[in-house]
Amino acid sequence: MPELYLHNSLTRRKERFEPIDPSNVRMYVCGPTVYDLVHVGNGRAVVVYDVLLRLLRHLYPKVTYVRNLTDVEDKINARAAELGVPIATLTEQTTADFHQDIAALGALPPDVEPRATGHIREMIDIIQRLIASGHAYEAQGHVLFAVGSFANYGKFSGRNADELLAGARIDVAPYKRDPGDFVLWKPSPPALPGWDSPWGRGRPGWHIECSAMAWRHLGETFDIHGGGTDLIFPHHENEIAQSLCAFPGSQFARYWVHNGMLLVNGEKMAKSLGNFTTLRDASRQAPGEVIRFLLIRTHYRSTPDFSDAAIIEAKKELDRFYRALERCPNAGGGTVPDKVMDALCDDLNTPLALSAMHALADAALTGDTPAAASLRASGHLMGLLTQAPEAWFRGGTEDADAIEAAIQERLNARKARNFARADAIRADLAERGIVLEDGPSGTTWRRAG
């Protein structure tokens, strides 16, 4: 079995992956806060960890993949108030939207998809442990983590005391012992979600949610924790602090994997900046597989720009792969070649893996059936090339029946020797991106590639 190497944010170096239990690799990834449609930058994280999941399942007999849903958070409360809808209605609809949008990217579902609201008991348990050990304190109905009680606070993100304060979500509050102390539990008024606790009716802080869900489903120590680089501080820094303090002697996550942010004109794609494209809108520009391909054309730790030109280039590359498979219709049962596997095992080097796939496509375009079989197997490992070439080149059209009807009308026009009408129909279809191909067995059509 090839050895897998991952860049570990915890140690800031690439390391050989050694699972705690090779018979069950355990991975946790931070999922969405369900208050609005996810954007393409969010989709990048989903696709990156989907590729890692597929690779792990190729290498190991079992992988337990947990990706959470944050369904209690101040952003949700504000959005529901803005729309004038119940919070539960908003979270349910947004969760359904999220599932629909990432399914279009070919993302596999997680083994467990815990919701924060279903793990309040675990959060209270961890908070009680932290209070009992002196790492947290109650103040005016709030419970706060005392950052000064954890000597390694800031080590994960590499920030000094001033940088920690500058980068944290600081609430100015006189009851804090230290300005950097973060909220584990806070009071909830009757109009907002709340649960009974030893500290009164309230709701959890954001950071405690992931610690509780990871503990519940993966244990005190597990293999991989994933997320975007924007989560390193404060979210992941705080997760580490509270988890290690609540469970002395544990490691929490042994390998931390972080994907780089997607950029728009050099700036991070973010809802707060208003420069985002939702996955739903992107799917109107191109099929989901094209968006997926675009998101893995560059290394996961890079920060590429998202643009219309990038979508066009991604589609051209995918079309070429499908053309190669079309050339060898009997290709099947292939295996992933060493060059592709070695690239993926080297810190998920998807650009190098795709380069190796282009070499396979070169051979397949000359009629090399084994190369086409290896191309398809390699694509499947990365969640690509899952369609038949005919379906791919016909896909993405709004009305296949109307196209077939136009083709029949063109045939009737030719039989009637009305060649001007036949040519006009062909030209009209071409303007819509439909290419007709006349052959001995009749006329077929495909999308322009």
Produce one character per residue of 73-104: b if its CB has 16 or more CB atoms within 10 Å, e if not. beebbebbeeeeeebeebbeebbebbeebbeb
Q: What is the pLDDT of residue 167?
A: 58
Q: Which residue has the tokens 């039989």?
A: 415
Among 40, 30, 34, CA closest to 270: 40
| Angle, vertex CA 27, rays to CA 260 and CA 121, nearest 5 | 110
CA distances from 349 to 36, 107, 313 (A): 31, 18, 19
Give phi and psi for 390, each to the nearest 5. -60, -40
- Its pTM stands at 0.89
pLDDT along the chain (449 residues), means of 10: 95 98 98 97 97 98 98 96 97 97 97 98 98 97 97 93 66 86 96 97 97 98 98 97 98 98 90 89 93 98 95 96 96 94 98 98 97 98 95 70 80 85 84 78 73
Mapping DSSP to helix (H, G, I), strand (E, B) and coil, where does residue 315 land? helix
Cα angle 296, 301, 307; round to 5 = 50
Q: Given the DSSP bridges, would you call strands 202-204 and 182-187 parallel, antiparallel or unpaired?
A: antiparallel
Per-residue confidence (pLDDT) for residue 109, from 0 to 100? 97
Residues 6+ apart with CB under 8 A from 333: 373
CB 301 within 8 A of CB 14: no
- How far apart CA 399 and CA 403 sit, in angstroms, is 7
Tell me what pLDDT residue 445 has. Answer: 80
pLDDT of res. 23:
98
DSSP 71: -
Helices (H), 187-307: 206-218, 237-246, 279-285, 288-296
